[in-house]
């Protein structure tokens, strides 16, 4: 069992962050925010996949105004990502943004922050203080390892003081570096000095496999230590992949209220079915947006032979221990019947839906 770090609770629209709430999944749209039709289509797809909070880039007034139209057509809370111009935060809040992300590296003056905080307080809108190793305030940090994570924590702490001086505590913190070890170290340090909830992520993690691995190691390590309240996987690629990866990270740690954790062996010379095909097919079916999943976490084991198969299948909610072109189906720890290899996926999907 993971003991979660105790934090304040912040509300982003209808989603609670920290203070015992489940770890929520975020993503960011990748098209121009001013093109409402495209953004809405992207958000709808992500919603279906399990994205719970969406962030959009606000680079000008037109983008800030578009938030109102986008919000009218989506169901999940929207975060406005603000850099350089504090007035875009004001415009975004007036357009209905549920949360604002500010970067301490480029919105710096007390006066600008005071303007944003004044309206955020009035509208009860939380602010994420989003430190990024690529845009640390002051001189550009080129220090590596522990020193860089220290600089990130210092930047966040100094920035937080400006908000606290204005009696504003509706804060979420992120400390993202492109380096996994630096990111982990920064969050661990920050966890010792504040009780604000954390948004976790590895920034600029790369594409596909590279980004997925870095994110899983970085975000997963912290979550396993109980650190982290909402996560965003950043990939050079489609946002759908970000959401599926985030779901996978949470499922693997037992931190999702629903979802299927697939346990399958690597196969070896003993295996007499095409296990790779079966597992890939099942994974693909379970990942589709319209797949009806049970409302609780499930373990599904698909094992290649009788060496470890019956053991893993017995421990899972549903499992198959394969034999020669067939397998034994296990349900809730008991062997129930033999099934043919070609029926593995169909049978598992049916059983998952019926649980
Ligand atoms: S469960 Fe069987 S097929 Fe799979 S890796 Fe182990 S020994 Fe090989």
Higher pLDDT, 316 or 140: 316
Domain ranges of the chain: 10-252, 259-354
pLDDT exceeds 60 at position 139 = no
Mutate which of 309, 310, 312, 324 for ligand 1? The one with the most ligand atoms within 8 Å of its CB, which is 309
Atom 7 in ligand 1: residue holding the nearest Cα: 307
pLDDT at 291 over 70: no
List pLDDT tens digits, range 25-70. 999 999 999 999 999 999 999 999 999 999 999 999 999 999 999 9
CB neighbour list of residue 174: distance below 8 Å, 6 or more residues apart: 128, 129, 130, 131, 198, 199, 200, 201
Per the CB < 8 A criterion, the answer to whether 335 and 310 are in contact is yes
- Indicate if the pLDDT at residue 292 is higher than 70: no
Measured from the Cα of 308, ligand 1's closest atom is: 1
Residue 208 pLDDT class (50, 70, 90 cuts): confident
What atom of ligand 1 comes closest to residue 309's alpha carbon?
1
Give CA–CA dist 290/261, Å, rounded. 18
- Nearest residue to 107 via CA among 128, 137, 150: 137
Rounded to 10 deg, the angle between the 86-94 and 110-123 helix axes is: 10
Least confident of 134-138, 249-253, 318-322: 134-138
- Distance from the CA of 283 to the center of ligand 1, in angstroms? 19
The preferred substitution site among 273, 303, 320, 325 for testing ligand 1, maximizing ligand atoms within 8 Å of CB, is 303
pLDDT higher than 90, residue 221? yes
Among 221-235, 240-254, 276-290, 329-343, the minimum mean pLDDT is found in 276-290
Average pLDDT, the chain: 93
Q: Are 20 and 226 in contact (CB under 8 A)?
A: no
Cα separation, 228 vs 268, whole angstroms: 37
Q: Exposed, middle or buried by CB within 10 Å (0-12, 13-18, 19+), for 113?
A: buried
Q: Which residues line ligand 1 (CB under 6 A)?
A: 265-268, 270-271, 303-305, 307-309
pLDDT at 147 over 70: no
272 Cα–ligand 1 center, Å: 10
Among the listed ranges 178-182, 255-259, 341-345, 350-354, which one has the minimum average pLDDT value?
Answer: 255-259
**d(CA 251, ligand 1 centre) in Å:** 23
Cα–Cα distance, 84 to 63 (Å, whole number): 14
pLDDT at position 297: 86
pLDDT 10s digits, 170-204: 999 999 999 999 999 999 999 999 999 999 999 99
pLDDT at residue 259, as a whole number: 82
pLDDT at 289: 52
The pLDDT assigned to 287 comes to 78
Whose Cα sits closest to atom 5 in ligand 1?
267
For residue 292, the tally of other CB atoms under 10 A from its CB is 8
Q: What is the DSSP string of 41-109?
A: HHHHHHHHHT--EEEEE--SHHHHHHHHHHHHH-SS-EEEEE-S-HHHHHHHHHTT-SEEEE-TTT---
Name the region of 20 (left: φ>0; alpha: ψ -120 to 50; beta: rest): left
Q: Which of 263, 267, 274, 319 should be mutated for ligand 1, with most atoms under 8 A from CB?
A: 267
What average pLDDT does the segment 96-124 reach? 96
- What pLDDT was estimated at residue 201? 97
What are the start-end ranges of the H helices in the chain?
36-49, 61-73, 86-94, 110-123, 145-165, 180-193, 208-224, 239-252, 275-287, 309-315, 344-354
Share of residues in the chain with pLDDT > 90 (%): 87
The residues, ordered by sequence, that sit 6+ positions from 139 with a Cβ below 8 Å of its Cβ are none
The whole-number average pLDDT for the span 131-157 is: 77
Mean pLDDT of 214-225: 98
Q: Residue 44: which of 290, 295, 353 has the closest Cα?
A: 290
- Ligand 1 atom nearest to 305, measured from its CA: 2
Residue 140's pLDDT band (cuts 50, 70, 90): low
pLDDT at 144: 56
Which ligand 1 atom minimizes the distance to the CA of 265?
A: 4
Report percent pLDDT > 70 for the chain: 96
| Residue from 264, 266, 270 whose mutation best tests the ligand 1 pocket (most atoms within 8 A of CB) | 270
pLDDT at 45: 95
Statement: residue 143 has pLDDT above 60: no
Give the model confidence (pLDDT) of 71-105 as tens digits: 999 999 999 999 999 999 999 999 999 999 999 98
pLDDT of residue 136: 81
Closest C-alpha to 341, from 328, 330, 325: 325
The side-by-side arrangement of strands in the sheet containing 230-232 is 171-176, 127-132, 99-102, 78-82, 53-57, 24-28, 230-232, 199-200
What is the CATH topology of the domain spanning 10-252? TIM Barrel (3.20.20)
**Angstrom distance (rounded) from CA 316 to CA 85:** 52
SS3 181: helix
> Measured between alpha carbons, how far is 317 from 348 in angstroms, rounded to an integer?
11
Q: Tell which CATH architecture fits domain 259-354.
A: 2-Layer Sandwich (3.30)
Q: Cα angle at 11 between 6 and 13, to 5 degrees?
A: 155
């Amino acid at each position: 069992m993971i003991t979660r770090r105790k934090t304040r609770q912040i509300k982003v629209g209808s989603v609670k962050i920290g203070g015992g709430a489940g770890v929520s999944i975020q993503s960011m749209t990748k098209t121009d925010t001013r093109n409402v039709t495209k953004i809405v289509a992207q958000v709808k797809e992500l919603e279906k996949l399990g994205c719970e909070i969406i962030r959009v880039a606000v680079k000008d007034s037109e983008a800030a105004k578009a938030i109102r139209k986008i919000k009218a057509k989506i169901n999940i809370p929207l975060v406005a990502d603000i850099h350089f111009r504090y007035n875009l935060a004001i415009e975004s809040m007036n357009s209905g943004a549920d949360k604002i992300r500010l970067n301490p590296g480029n919105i710096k003056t007390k006066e600008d922050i005071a303007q944003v905080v004044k309206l955020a307080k009035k509208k009860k809108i939380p602010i994420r203080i989003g430190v990024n190793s690529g845009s640390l305030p002051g001189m550009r940090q080129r220090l590596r390892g522990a020193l860089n994570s220290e600089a990130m924590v210092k930047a966040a702490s100094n920035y937080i003081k400006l908000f606290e001086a204005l009696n504003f505590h509706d804060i979420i913190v992120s400390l993202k570096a492109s380096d996994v070890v630096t990111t982990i170290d920064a969050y661990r340090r920050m966890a010792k000095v504040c009780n604000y909830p954390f948004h976790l992520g590895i920034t600029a993690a790369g594409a596909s496999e590279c980004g997925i691995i870095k994110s899983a190691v970085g975000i997963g390590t912290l979550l396993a230590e109980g650190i982290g309240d909402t996560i965003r996987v950043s990939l050079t690629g489609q946002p759908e992949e970000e959401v599926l990866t985030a779901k996978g990270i949470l499922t693997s740690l037992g931190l999702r209220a629903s979802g299927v954790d697939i346990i399958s062996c690597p196969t070896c010379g003993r295996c007499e079915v095409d296990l790779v095909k079966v597992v890939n097919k099942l994974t693909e079916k379970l990942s589709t947006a319209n797949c009806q999943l049970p409302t609780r976490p499930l373990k599904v084991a698909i094992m290649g032979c009788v060496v470890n198969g019956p053991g893993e299948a017995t421990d899972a909610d549903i499992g198959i221990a394969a034999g020669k072109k067939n397998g034994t189906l296990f349900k809730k720890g008991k062997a129930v019947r033999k099934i043919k290899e070609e029926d593995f996926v169909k049978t598992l999907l049916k059983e998952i839906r019926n649980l």
